[in-house]
Amino acid sequence: MPHWVAPRRREIGQRLRDARHHAGLTQMQLGERIGRDHRTIHRWEYATRIPDLNDLLLLADALGVPLSDLVR
């Protein structure tokens, strides 16, 4: 994997965490909104796993942000 991938994943996780906080949601609440377990949300935020495109679309909608805000 290229050296730039891991830092980029962490950036996306941080953007997801920031958007969730801004929306006033817990990991559990966000997980319930998109049909995922709160542990999955935690893994995405801390870049131990990555959301697929469908999950990113659900996240953006649930958080009320454009998809580009999460992945730019």
* pLDDT single digits (tens) 15-67: 999 999 999 999 999 999 999 999 999 999 999 999 999 999 999 999 999 99
Residue 23's pLDDT is 98
Q: At what angle do helices 5-22 and 53-63 cross, to 10 degrees?
A: 30
Domain 5-71: CATH class, spelled out? mainly alpha
pLDDT given for residue 55 in this prediction: 98
Question: What is the reported pLDDT for 58?
Answer: 98
DSSP category for residue 64: T
Dihedral through CA 48, CA 46, CA 35, CA 39, nearest 10?
Answer: 80
- Can you tell me which residue has the tokens 């990113």? 56
Alpha helices in the chain (DSSP H): 5-22, 27-34, 38-45, 53-63, 67-71
pLDDT bracket for residue 72 (50, 70, 90): confident
What does pTM read for this prediction? 0.93
